[in-house]
Amino acid sequence: MADKQSSKEYSSDKIKVLEGLEGVRHRPAMYIGSTSKNGLHHLVWEVVDNAVDEAMGGYCSVIDVTLNKDGSVSVKDDGRGIPTEPHPVYKRPAVEIAITKLHAGGKFDKGSYAVSGGLHGVGLSVVSALSKHFKVKIKRNGKVHEQEYSIGKPIYDLRVAGKADENETGTEITFTPDDTIFSTAKFEFSILATRFREIAFLNKGLKINLAEEETGKKESFHYEGGLTEFVKWINKSKEALHKPIYFAKKEGGTIVEVSVQYNSGYQENVLGFVNTINTVEGGTHVIGFKTALTRAINDYANKNKMSKNGNLTGDDVREGLAAIISIKISEPQFEGQTKTKLGNSEIKGIVDSVSMNALTEFFEENPAIARKIVNKSLEAQQARSAAKKAKELIRRKNAFSVGGLPGKLTDCSSKKSESTELFIVEGDSAAGPAKSARNREYQAVMPIRGKILNVEKANAIKVLGSEEIANIITAIGTGVDEDFKLEKLRYSKNVIMTDADVDGAHIKTLLLTFFFRFMPELIKNGNIYIAVSPLYRVRKNKNYYVYSDGELKSLLAKIGEKAEVMRFKGLGEMDPEQLWETAMNPKTRTLKRVTIEDAAIADEVFSKLMGDDVEARKQFILENAGEAVIDI
């Protein structure tokens, strides 16, 4: 029980009131999700979302985003320009109020924006609060206005900096993130490009230009075909089964826009957007579409007497599906400021009704495509039934093996999953030193025999029938697909440890493809890692471990060419001490956590690397050959 003295000390003067934007700096993650790479890029999304809102209103056609050499970012649009007139209540310029006060903005006035992504009126104020320098330039009413801020506070009053053409309007914002807040202040071109591509697809006709001064990289995103082009882009490295299905309808104040195209693969890729915001956790709009799709396909199958084994499930009809559901509404209810899930209950019924009517009509008018889709779903139903039997077989087999675990697994003694690690290594030669090197209390080792099955080219029956894959599933303990249960996870870190050569890289990619397709929750939860094993050992007075040819060149230039240099051909060539020191000891090793930054990009990467399109794979490898690591 706490002593009475401490309760006396907890008096009214201990209650802190954080004025203005102090709360944002005190708890930034509440507003932008995190202070890591994701939170940093979220600053750009907030500024760009404002420009996109102008585009959705029909006032903006071009957005220019520049990564400047000094680490700042500039976002320029040709919209109406943020109002510069004095605010009727605060008697300060409206732009200053929008930048310095939370929950202030045009999004609350229904006359200003019919729909908007930047809903909460906190975007610009949060960005200015978390930036050591923030500058706004506005072209409006024939003048160029400007004002600068530091950590959310104006450096000087809004001033007129020049003249503009009477018809020339727009806003340009340049900000430098506060590096005392963020773990990294470096923006990544590829992350920005992915989001801007989505925005351009979702707003046909809008052009977004992205440039990086330091590297000279430039990319433009502009799609007149909108969602139809988006779904074709998702399927570009796959074999599409039919032309895209597209429909759009306005129901009351809600605009529903959907594009659907099946491919010959086995993966589902359904992306939901609300006012161009990527709702990565889905929501009522996605549920409404999925419900309608299942019902429409079942109705067609039953009406045409194609179904023999009962109704198709949602999983059956979504195998090989690529779909975009984009809705635009005036008052979206998102779960949290970072807008990852839509909560509006009425939207489910609207999207369900619109999708059901449109899909039924399309199937009636295009019977050849409808039959292709139904037949694909029926094949999925049969495969799912066979896969269920395969899973049962895995469970029964495990029940009869010692402790229900695969015989090849060398387990650790601890049963506390939060502190245990599983090293998946290639072959018995690597397993030998790994077993000797490990800490037996919390590190387990499981060898796999060579290259596992490429799950990108196989259906569920073949995947689950593979002994190597069955062993991995059993060792990890969570099950797969609908049987997946995170609470049954046996190891908090599941580490892929392969040789630092081409074959090792291939095995690593095969394993990552398996985890991405069958256990994506483990990647999302941060349980999949890659061990970084050395390419060389350099000995001169002491041992140096080197992880790339470039690093070797730098080291030899530093310590002198007369060194004994040994190239490791594989993990099996390392003695246990070397392996422990370089790849397994938590104090000295480097582990890379695998993350899914964006589902559409990750899906495309795996489809290109592991699919049937040889030309797409060659092109991808050529474009990315200079990259040391591909983040997935």
Query: What amino acid positions are annotated as catalytic residues?
Result: 426, 499, 501, 503
Residues 395, 479: Cα–Cα separation, whole Å: 10
Residue 5: CB atoms within 10 A of its CB come to 7
* Residue 68 backbone phi and psi in degrees, to 5: -80, 155
CA distances from 496 to 401, 484, 513, 581 (A): 24, 20, 12, 17
User: Interhelix angle for 367-400 vs 284-303, to 10°?
Assistant: 110
Torsion of CA 198, 203, 205, 206, to 10 degrees: -70
Residue type, 227: L
- What token pair was written down for 315? 């999983």
C-alpha span between 512 and 528 (Å, rounded): 9
State how far the alpha carbon of 605 is from the alpha carbons of 173, 271, 326, 472, in Å: 33, 16, 23, 23
Burial class (CB in 10 A: 0-12, 13-18, 19+), 561: exposed
Pair type for strands 536-540 and 493-497: unpaired
228 token code pair: 């139809």
Q: Are 135 and 47 in contact (CB under 8 A)?
A: no
What phi and psi, each to the nearest 5 degrees, are found at residue 542?
-145, 175
- Token readout for 38 is 């994701």
What SS3 class is residue 117? Answer: coil
| Residue 48 near residue 65 (C-beta atoms within 8 A) | yes
Burial class (CB in 10 A: 0-12, 13-18, 19+), 565: middle
CB of 95 closer than 8 Å to CB of 84: yes
